[in-house]
Amino acid sequence: MHNSCFRRSQRARAIRQGVKLALYALTALVCVPTRLPADNAPDWLRAAAQQKLSPYPDNPIAVILLDELQITVQSNGEVNTRHRLAYKLLRPEAQDRYGYASVNFDNETKVTSFKAWTILANGTELSVGEKDALETSLATYEVFTDDKAKVLRFPGAAAGTVVGYEYVRKERPFLFENAWMFQDPLPVKRARLSLQLPSGWDFSARWFNYPDQKPQSSGANQSSWEVQDLPAVDIEPGMPVWKAVGGWMGLKYFPHDPAQRVKTMGSWTDLGTWYAGLAQAQRAPSPQIQQKVSELISGVTDPAAKMLALARYIQQKIRYVAIEIGVGGYQPHAAADIFQHQYGDCKDKATLLATMLHEIGIESYYVLVDTNRGIVRPDYPSMNFDHVVLAIRLPDTINAAPLYAVMNHPKLGRLLFFDPTDEYVPPGYLPASLQHNYGLLVTPDGGELVPLPLLTPATNRLLRTAKFSLSATGNLSGDVQELLWGGPASDQRAAFLETQPSKRAQIFEGFLSSSVNDFTLTSGTIANLEQYDQSLILGYKFFTRGYANSTGELLLVRPRVLGDKYTWLLRLFAEQKPRKYPIEFDEATRQDDLFDITLPAGYVVDGLPEPVQASCDYASYRSETKVADGVLHYKRTFEIKDVLVPTEKLGELRTFLQQVAADQEAAAVLRRAAP
């Protein structure tokens, strides 16, 4: 089954979630016979059901009793995979999440067998087969694909039951590699993989996030691996994607026939050569493309302006639609076809832009990336990618100062990384999910894994200024302006543009509700919403009742009226169990608040919070509160300098955030002046 190319990491998650929700709905339509033959569960499922389970921490909703893959490779390159999976459902909600079995397939893949069983708590065995399955297309959202799924609902699935299924799938993969994800957000009692190769074939296996396990030989060209009693990958807020920290094994098999060895990539160079062979011919320009390029750059003499005009055209005018049939999951469509239809997926948009750039004398190269950090391993060449962007080779005539996502390549010179698919991130920037990540740079010489830059905090800015007026009764009115650029601007643009205009006030209200109570939003404005290369400007006014606390002759007012700087992470440290995984921030950023609070007549300042300066290896914070001419002035600066905080450094981050939290809640004391 091929990888998909998604518009943005958020969209990728939305598509996957949408598919799962569709499967839930579909399983409800599957008719289950009311009377089923008994005593028909296979021996492997019965054996799994009889295993004794120790108490599990955190009260999981289910346990994976067995997850077994049997991979048989034929000499002609055909691969048969038998997958067996068994769960013990422990809590009622497990029925919704694990009450069905599914197997995906496409035009290159055939499902030859599909069965499912339930063993009830009283020992009764129930079964369903392929004739009971519902087949559905997985084409959804903006993705047209030949991927389909067969779905079976486990009969009688409920807390206390054991459910399991088995399928056999036959395919001719484009690459001879597998990623065996043996760890899971559920506890795993036993996971096993067996590999049967033809005579003369070889394999390699690499283990990640788990100690190396030596294969057991069970016959000629037969190898197997087994792991037991695996803890669940706890899903912790702020952690990297779980597949980046869970245990898995990378498996490659090498054919005896040299003609088939092109399907096994031993190096990043090999992968790049293979992908270049798929994609390079697709860049041929058509007369219509050449005419459009001339139109877009008409009257433009500056090389940078020409480049940006083409980049914006691809971002804004070529719709995202993925058509992934067969090798199309990897191979872009021809540039002429993409231009004619005015749509394509990430690799299509990159292809059309590369073709247009070539027409103005600027070369560019594909960069294959994964939209989650930690998936691509530099020491393990594989096709663990789900997205394609471009590296644009900047001519000497282009000033790179306003272009931040640039690296200096020893052979190719200055390369600008650009995502033509993400319409909210202008040229010069890079989506947060791709920063501090790895990409496979595809050149005529092959492939090279390169680090993608982490943009500096100054490129991702939020400047919030506000003028407030405090009444003697503690009510507060405010007029706020936010100036955003870089990542904060892209995120807010996405939020507003993907919300109906009539409901956009709810975004302002949602933000205010995290800082003040009993408030009324009186106005909200947005400037430069669709001018992606300009700063986004937000303005809003509100009134909140009882903001300051009155105690006799005193008013206690918090100078930090709005905005939290990640102190919600402190809740993670307050839990009883120690945290297992790193904390991952989206991006480096600088955020400034400048607040002026006009004090009520008849009150003087009796005490101010002390200035704060706090820092750690990953962030810094400083704040100051002053008063002059009846106005309280509060200013602070918060910076994230690095995006990944390793587990052993979490204590340092906790101490830092405690200092930030104390400042955020500190109060100025106002006293009623004597008449």
For every residue of 155-190, DSSP letters joined together read TT--TT-EEEEEEEEEE--SSSEEEE----SS-EEE
Q: What is the pLDDT of residue 80?
A: 96
pLDDT digits (tens, 9 = 90+) for 69-118: 999 999 988 999 999 999 999 999 999 899 999 988 877 789 999 999 99
Per-residue pLDDT for 485 more than 70?
yes
pLDDT of residue 322: 66
CA-based max dimension of the chain:
100
| pTM of the full structure | 0.88
Per-residue confidence (pLDDT) for residue 146, from 0 to 100:
60
Q: What is residue 26's predicted lDDT score, i.e. its pLDDT?
A: 47
**Burial letters for 284-321: b for 16+ Cβ neighbours within 10 Å, e otherwise?**
ebeeebeebbeebbeeeeebbebbbbbbbbbbeebebb
- pLDDT for the residue 324: 53
Higher model confidence: residue 571 or residue 465?
Answer: 465
| Cα separation, 414 vs 224, whole angstroms | 47
Instruction: State the pLDDT at residue 265.
Output: 72
From 593, 583, 596, select the one nearest 657 (Cα to Cα).
Answer: 583
Is the pLDDT assigned to residue 201 strictly greater than 50? yes
- Fold agreement (9-263, 463-672): no
| DSSP 8-state assignment for residue 656 | H
CB atoms inside a 10 Å sphere around CB 121: 11
For the cut 60, the answer to whether the pLDDT of residue 444 exceeds it is: yes
Q: Is 52 helix (H, G, I), strand (E, B) or coil?
A: coil
Closest alpha carbon to 558 in 675, 438, 667, 649: 667
What are the angstrom distances between the C-alpha of 6 and each of 141, 241, 344? 11, 17, 11
Q: What's the CATH class of domain 9-263?
A: mainly beta
Res. 188: pLDDT tops 90: yes
Which CATH topology does 268-455 take? C8orf32 fold (3.10.620)
pLDDT of residue 602: 92
Cα gap 209→233, rounded to integer Å: 11
**Sequence ranges of the domains in the chain:** 9-263, 268-455, 463-672
- Angle (CA) 218 250 436, round 5°: 165
Phi, psi of 657 (to 5 degrees): -65, -30
Calculate the alpha carbon distances from 59 to 162, 238, 578 in Å.
17, 21, 17
Whether the predicted pLDDT of 497 surpasses 70: yes
Report pLDDT for 14: 36
Q: What is the pLDDT of residue 1?
A: 32
What strands lie across the sheet with 202-208, from one edge to the other?
177-180, 248-254, 202-208
Which pLDDT band holds residue 5 (cuts at 50, 70, 90)?
A: low
Contact 201, 241 (CB under 8 A): no
Residue 343 has pLDDT above 60, yes or no: yes
Q: What is the pLDDT averaged over residues 500-527?
A: 97
Coil, strand or helix at 6: coil
Rounded to the nearest 10 degrees, what angle do helices 303-317 and 346-359 cross at? 150
Structure tokens that stand for 201 in this block: 């074939």
- Cα–Cα distance for residue pair 640/638, rounded to 1 Å: 7
Give the pLDDT score at 169: 94
Give the pLDDT of residue 648.
94
CATH class in words for 463-672: mainly beta
What is the distance between the alpha carbons of residues 274 and 368, in angstroms, rounded to a whole number?
12
Mean pLDDT, the chain, integer: 90
pLDDT band at 141 (very low <50, low <70, confident <90, very high): very low
Query: CA-CA distance, 343 to 360, in Å (whole number)?
Result: 22
Alpha carbon distance, N-terminus to C-terminus of the chain: 81
Query: 297-322 pLDDT, tens per residue?
Result: 999 999 999 999 999 999 999 998 86
* Among 136-140, 242-246, 527-531, 635-639, the least confident range: 136-140
Overall average pLDDT of the 462-490 stretch:
97
Higher pLDDT, 361 or 30: 361
